[in-house]
Amino acid sequence: MRLKLKTVFVLYFLVSLLGLIYALMQLGQRCDCTEHDAPKERTISRLRGELRRLRERAKKSEVAGQPQIESSPPPTIFVITPTYARLVQKAELTRLSQTFLHVPRLHWIVVEDSQTKTPLVGQLLAQSGLSYTHLHVATARERKLQEGDPSWLKPRGVEQRNEGLRWLREDRGAPGDRRGGQSGVVYFADDDNTYSLRLFEEMRSTRRVSVWPVGLVGGMKYEKPVVEGGKVVRFHVGWRPGRPFPLDMAGFAVSLELLLANPDSRFDGDAPTGFLESSLLQGLVTADQLEPKADNCSKVLVWHTRTEKPKMKREDALQAQGLGSDPAVEV
Ligand SMILES: *[C@@H]1O[C@H](CO)[C@@H](O)[C@H](O)[C@H]1NC(C)=O
């Protein structure tokens, strides 16, 4: 009996010893791992240090009785894009949507010139990854350009831009609903232009109406407001510089607050050619209130590019033989 007890003790001792040796070996390996993880450890301790400093700063400003500066979120940019069905529509909207994906706090308002919302645009928006609103309004018959009409004959996209403004006023302008004091900037972006990402950060600080140069427009290399002493004094344009606001649609942005404060301001589809932009802006600002952006209007950040209308001669010929492209493939 006694002997057996002794054996048990010896066995217990041996097992414990083995366990201890094993644990020590593990400890040694851990040491190697720690060395391996050194950069991570350093990052963690750096972040801890930063957190501590921030906490101390927060405490200090509380002690000093300073109100915590609650910086309001940067304004949202509401981009209103009129669009209409044509062969290049999907390509144009894809390109535009992928530019906008790079712009933070942007809400895209796409207004189709059609009797209904089309599945092509609906699906493109749903898959875009953007925050968006999908609207539609068909242009009145007498306002529509006919095949062969020159594009300057009647302004395109008037009803659609006004529909975008109507939505903004309804959705964002409801009394009591200021979305937590959210401020906004409204920009009219046609689907064929080319936009630098920098343009959106320039317009984000718009207080009333901001302006900048537009490249490749009006038969010129660029049109731009001429700035002297930080103020717009005249306009460098090739045609009728005497218009109230000789600006291209792509050359200005308006603060949402200003649009909400002027509920009747809109584009006038009956305005003479070249006066469409003026018809909106006239009721909102005076020329000396315009805020020049893009380094005092010295940089071109948007281009009035035009996509060529694709020729369908061979498609038409093949279709006549019943060999046309599969209409089920969306282009
Ligand atoms: C614009 O011009 C004004 C007046 O000349 C100047 O004070 C200001 O710094 C300029 N701004 C930029 C961004 O160049």
What is the side-by-side strand order in the sheet with 291-292? 131-136, 106-112, 76-83, 184-188, 252-255, 209-211, 291-292
Residue 317 within a domain: no
Nearest CA residue ID for atom 8, ligand 1: 230
Please report, for the domain that includes residue 277, its CATH number: 3.90.550.10
Mark whether 16 and 142 lie in a shared domain.
no
Mark whether 43 and 85 lie in a shared domain.
no
Question: Alpha-carbon distance 100 to 195, whole Å?
Answer: 9
pTM: 0.78
Residue span of the structural domain in which 209 resides: 76-303
Q: What is the dihedral of CA 206, 207, 209, 214, to 10 degrees?
A: -20
Total number of domains in the chain: 2
Mark whether 46 and 139 lie in a shared domain.
no
Residue 315 within a domain: no
Residue 313 within a domain: no
Mark whether 80 and 181 lie in a shared domain.
yes
Distance between Cα 198 and ligand 1 center (Å)? 18
Dmax (CA) of the chain: 118
Question: Alpha-carbon distance 50 to 315, whole Å?
Answer: 64
Residue 284 within a domain: yes
Nearest CA residue ID for atom 12, ligand 1: 295
Atom of ligand 1 nearest to the CA of 228: 5
Mark whether 103 and 130 lie in a shared domain.
yes
Nearest CA residue ID for atom 9, ligand 1: 230
Atom of ligand 1 nearest to the CA of 292: 1
The mean-pLDDT minimum among 13-22, 58-67, 68-77, 87-96 falls in 58-67
Mark whether 198 and 236 lie in a shared domain.
yes
Which tens digit of pLDDT belongs to each residue from 211-222?
999 999 999 999
Whole-angstrom Cα Rg for the chain: 32
Mark whether 120 and 152 lie in a shared domain.
yes
Distance between Cα 285 and ligand 1 center (Å)? 21
CB 228 near ligand 1, within 6 Å? no
Residue 322 within a domain: no
User: DSSP label at 290?
Assistant: -
| % of the chain at pLDDT higher than 90 | 69
Which tens digit of pLDDT belongs to each residue from 220-257?
999 999 999 999 999 999 999 999 999 999 999 999 99
Mark whether 19 and 112 lie in a shared domain.
no
CB 295 near ligand 1, within 6 Å? yes
Mark whether 252 and 212 lie in a shared domain.
yes
* SS3 of the chain: helix, strand, coil, percent, to 5: 40, 15, 45
Distance between Cα 228 and ligand 1 center (Å)? 9
Mark whether 99 and 23 lie in a shared domain.
no
Mark whether 185 and 259 lie in a shared domain.
yes
Which residues carry out catalysis? 277
CB 118 near ligand 1, within 6 Å? no
Residue 136 within a domain: yes
Mark whether 84 and 52 lie in a shared domain.
no
Which tens digit of pLDDT belongs to each residue from 64-80?
555 555 677 899 999 99
